[in-house]
Chain A
Amino acid sequence: MDFPMFHLDWLNDRFLIAVIAIIHVMINHGLAVGFIPYITWLEYKGVKNAPTDQISDSKWDTLIYNKMKVAFIITTTIGAMTGVGIWFSVALVSPSSIGSLIRVFYWAWFTEWVVFVTEVVLIMIYYLTWKNSNKSLNAKLKHIRFGVFLSIASWITMVIIVSILGFMMDPGNWNADKSLLNGFTNPIYIPQLAFRTPVAMLVGGIFGMLLTTIFSKKGSEIRILAIKYAGRWVLFWTAFAIAGAVYYWNVMPEAMKANMSTAVGSMDFEEYYDLLKYFIIGAASLSIVLAFWAIFKPKKVSFGLVMIPCLFVFGFLGIFERVREFVRKPYVIGNYMYSNLLREEDYPLYKKDGILKHATYTSVHEITPDNKVMAGRDVFMLTCSRCHTTNGVNSIVDVFENMYGKDKPLNEQAMASYIPGMHQGRAFMPPFPGNKKELEALVAYIKQLQSSGESLQGAQTDGVAVNADNAVDAVAKRIEAEKEQESENN
């Protein structure tokens, strides 16, 4: 409504966020939160297992250092930049929602930032002083202590960010008191943290095992030992991951269903939700198999063998985030803002006046038969384009063709009678916010999209058309008139 609409008409806007965010989660969980404690533990084991006249077994230490090097390079490049990338992409695609969240969570994010700075400083100390610390036992132990600090700092970043994720799914009574504490007191917070923590450890351990198969010689003693350790680590955390998953899995529907307008919603939800169950079971059993294999047959563990569960658990992280995103629909911020970025509280006004009238950017503000399709395009951009494209991924034409038949011309009347009630049949859809004329314009546009196959360019290429009704001149006059009205009333 109030922001120029960035739009990717083939790829889909949500896809942009999803790709960046999922890469970030994978790196954050698998190479930082879950990986650093694993590395620190192994570094410590090296010191403990070393002969009395040595500080650490130098081959072992080099192996662990090399593993850390991979994590260091990836986290400080792709990891850091995808973290910033989430901000960038969300600001483009979903400015109203992130803008609202920032106002509520400013301090949470500010604290998060302080922890981030600490984390970056610590990871540089930890990695860059590794070689130098091998000169004395004291320095080595101090170095290991830095590993512990780094592990704690990484985990705290997760402790904070989970509150914001939980909040978006279930803002609790935020609609009433608008305090950021709701992020921590909402019913999903503890379960989500109890789930994410061991999963991160699990993924970190499997990734670590994979790196061991790369950086050590087959059949060498340190390789066998490192694989055994990784097996023990994975087995230990899998137990907690399963417990956390069961806990979280059972809490989520309760919280999510409270968001949903109808019981039908829960039908769709459960169908989607079942998928997650199979993935959890699959990932957990695969991890257990791998762990036992690593403990009892460490010689047989090869790169190819670890690669499969490794891809699987990383894939699992992706699916998990996808489900989490899906179940929050039709809202982007529970009970406050719909996924089309319109606030629920403004719906009555939009229903009454239409949305174009209140849009800052639209080429049409008065619908006539001549500009109907143009108006429809603006309505589409304002109300559908966050999730749908014209002819690309999740295209609006496809959605209707799936309902009404692939090869048939779309029926405007049928669409016009379907759209106003669609949120009842399809509970993940927000209600259509516009008025009747806008609805007719929208279906005319969709029909034209089907026959012409044309695409829709976002503000990043085509710029914006300013609605003269909401430009400086008109707004100034309206505000003046309102003020006069007020003083007259007084």
Chain B
Amino acid sequence: MLLQINTPVPKDIPLDLPLPEWLLVTLLIVSFLFHIVFINLMVGGSIVTLWAQIRGLKEKQYDIFAYEIAKTITVNKSIAVVLGVAPLLSINTLYTVYFYSANALTGFAWIMIIPLVTIAFLLTYLHKYTWETMKNHKALHIGIIALSVAIFLFIPLIFLTNVNLMMFPEKWGAVKGFLSALVLPNVFPRYFEFLGACIAVTGIFIVWYNGRRNYPFEEIYISLTRAQVKRVGYHIALIGLAAQIVFGAIVLMTLPAKGVSFEVIEIMGVAGGLLVLALWWIWKTIKDTDERLDKHFWKITIAMLAFMICYGGSRQMYRHNALDKHQKMVAAHTASFQAMSKEARENYVEEEGALVIDESLGDLAKGTALFQASCAGCHQMDQQLVGPPIKEMKQIYEGDEAKLIAWIKAPGRKRQELMQMPGFPQIPDEDLKEIAKYILSVE
């Protein structure tokens, strides 16, 4: 009961969706998938670079490795940003009320994404382009990438807080700023699952990147071999996948009951199974010989992609379940408001009716009422307010109604110390006459 009183039912934008809902949902999921892969590579890549560069302080080979990964971050980040526009557009269209409400309620953090990410991006360029020039200032140079990693680690929290908050309108009345929305259930488990995915995807990317035939590996590295670097990639992916599985299980267990259904659990279960499968193949690869490092590569990649589709799909199902009833109510509320608005529009009484006419004033009643409505905001009886008092007007225009009306329609500027009066040509002539009659009647 209490919950219901505090669950707002906003009205939706009264315009049709630009395309059928199922198509928008498909576009949302597919475009988000592309976006998140590159986000994974950007975040994971910067973490791996930081780790490798620190390790590179003692083992020169890892410094080269770090530099090679650093060069990919700036490319992946550009693709990540531009690919993010399509899911943003789609979620804005599909969940207008929910998404924008969550944005506003966490507004300060939400808008900070822009300057923070800009800074992180500039830092990644600075880091990349000063590799040679700062080689004698390694601590400072590592500090640059560490700062950008710190920003990259913070930003996903803002996004997750938003997509989480949007599913719980019943919390909107209770949330006070970003921090209180951040601690709602399920944000942190999802966050750590996401970080695991960043590491895992980056690990697999490293394997692929160093396996390419046209990549002049031997010219770049002095003592490391392709196989060794691939093994590094697999190890990274192993750590990431393990984290993903652990935190994925926690996500599932802490999922607020509202949107859970058997289908959601099933698909999340399948997704989890795919990760375990990928983990198993990676484990087998690591145990195997250098010649057979590529044996399971495509199976692993496909399992991970399939995981993403399942996981993304189950999240969408969860969101759908969580909001279904509320969305229906929003639609009904919108329709009912539209009907009310239409009725009011059709039975609208012109402003005239709003005039407060004091019949006791007789002949001057209408003029007085009109003056109150259009002029009294600036003109008083005896005192200068914005413009001169009525009594002064009378002195000036005594016996010259036509001139007074002309002035009201298109005023000039006589008093430099006051604001210029705007003209009122939209007032009909007969009303202007009534106003002038009133002005010239004052004693």
Contacts and interface: CB of A to CB of B under 8 A. Distances in A.
Given A349-B340, A461-B108, A465-B173, A360 B11 contact: yes
Interface in A7-36: 16, 20
Contacts of B100: 3, 91-92, 95, 99
Nearest to B386: A403
B110 interface: yes
B88 A87 contact: yes
Contacts of A113: 82, 85-86, 89
A461 B177 contact: yes
Contacts of A261: 426
A349 B172 contact: no
B425 A466 contact: no
Contact of A103 (B15, B79, B421): B15
Contacts of A99: 13, 92, 96, 100
Interface stretch (A71-79, A186-194, A320-328, A446-454): A71-79
Contacts of B122: 73, 77-78
A414 B15 contact: no
A116 B80 CA distance: 12
Contacts of A463: 105, 172-177, 180
B93 interface: yes
Contacts of A267: 422-423
A92 B88 contact: no
B344 interface: yes
Contacts of A352: 344
Interface string A282-323: 000000000000000000000000000000000000000000
Interface residues of B, number: 90
Given A80-B78, A360-B8, A360-B9, A424 B424 contact: yes
Interface in A358-402: 358, 360-361, 402
A104 B18 contact: yes
Most chain A CB within a 10 A radius of its CB, from B12, B174, B340, B343: B340
Contacts, number: 267
Nearest to B347: A348
Interface residues of A, number: 97
A361 B93 contact: no
Interface string A460-490: 1111111110111101101100100000000
B423 A92 contact: no
Contacts of A470: 8-10, 333
Contact of A4 (B96, B172, B374): B172
Contacts of B6: 466, 471
B166 to A, nearest CB: 12
A357 to B, nearest CB: 10
A174 B16 CA distance: 14
User: For B104, B340, B385, which residue has the most chain A Cβ atoms within 10 angstroms?
Assistant: B104
A82 interface: yes
Interface string B92-134: 1100110111011111101101110110011001000000000
Interface string B148-169: 0000000000000000000000
Given A103-B13, A464-B173, A92 B110 contact: yes
Interface stretch (B54-62, B224-232, B376-384): B376-384
Nearest to A419: B377
A345 B329 contact: no
Contact of B345 (A82, A103, A348): A348
B10 A360 contact: yes
B17 A103 contact: yes
A271 B86 CA distance: 41
A417 B18 contact: no
A272 interface: no
B344 A417 contact: no
B89 A76 contact: no
Contacts of B174: 463
Contacts of B332: 475, 479
A479 B329 contact: yes
Nearest to A436: B354
Contacts of B118: 77-78, 81-82
Nearest to B337: A358
A141 interface: no
A264 B10 contact: no
A130 interface: no
Interface of B: 1, 4-19, 74-75, 78-79, 81-86, 88-89, 92-93, 96-97, 99-101, 103-108, 110-111, 113-115, 117-118, 121-122, 125, 172-178, 180, 326, 329, 332-333, 336-337, 340-341, 343-345, 347-348, 372-374, 376-378, 380, 385-386, 419, 421-427
Given A85-B111, A106-B19, A461-B176, 5 more contacts: A3-B100, A77-B125, A460-B177, A470-B9, A473-B4
23 contacts: A3-B101, A4-B101, A4-B172, A85-B114, A88-B103, A92-B104, A98-B92, A106-B18, A119-B82, A120-B79, A264-B426, A349-B340, A411-B385, A414-B378, A421-B373, A422-B377, A425-B424, A460-B108, A468-B5, A473-B1, A476-B329, A478-B336, A479-B336
